[in-house]
Structure 1
């Protein structure tokens, strides 16, 4: 049972890392290369789509890592799992405090109602997102190391 939990948790966190890497290094450069109206509309749509999915994924991943840490508390590598869990918790806190407020504004914007500083706000979101991606990559690496 523990082996299945370890593998499922690692795969789900790895997939989350992949999605967030794709947002940072594939989707955002594509959207930013479009004309301003299309860039803004694409970001707003992405904010609505991923804004609905990612909280479940982040909280679910954190819950699975916590379950793994509790279940395997007497096994080797538990310290790595606990550290990964702390990093995932940090990513959730970062999301709630830094990224979600910007996303909540962005997902309601249209070319007609966007603020003058909309690009600066999206650039700020991107900078926070890069840090969050580094945090979850580190958490994923720790989980893989604990699994090995």
Structure 2
């Protein structure tokens, strides 16, 4: 169960890291409206998957903390779970509202400030990635 939790959280970190530092820069470099359309598609696709991944990671971490309460490293798991709570709150309060708007945009209906909203989402996402990386590091340390 502990290894499974680390793998699930690690894969989530990898996907989110790739979104920030690989996929979005590629999409932003595409000509014309292709990048905006790609981001909208990614928002729909990942927007459907990531809530389950984030909440699932939090639940797995909480189960780990409860079942290993008196074992060494449990404090690290508790802090990691708290960081995952922060990431879920950040998602719901900061990122999901922007994503819910941007996933419906086309070149014909996007607002004038669509690029600024995308950059705001990126900034929030960088912070969220740092938070989940910290949680992953704590979980891997607790496993070791």
> Among 30, 35, 45, which residue is 1:34 paired with?
30
Aligned to 1:113: 109
- Cα–Cα, structure 1 residues 93 and 36, in superposed 2: closer, same or farther, change >3 Å? farther
1:56-84 deviation digits (Å, cap 9, x = unpaired): 00000000000000000010000000000
CA distance in 1, matches of 2:41, 2:121: 15
* Length-normalised TM-score, structure 1: 0.96
Residues 1:7 and 2:22 aligned together: no
TM-score (norm: length of structure 2): 0.99
Structure 2: unaligned runs, 5 residues or longer: none
User: Counterpart of 2:99?
Assistant: 103
Equivalence for 1:56: 52
Correspondence 1:137 to 2:133: yes
Give the total of aligned pairs: 144
Moved over 6 A (4+): none
- List alignment gaps of at least 5 residues for structure 1: none
Are residues 1:66 and 2:62 paired?
A: yes
Q: CA deviation at 1:39?
A: 1.1
Query: Which of 37, 43, 46 is the equivalent residue of 2:42?
Result: 46
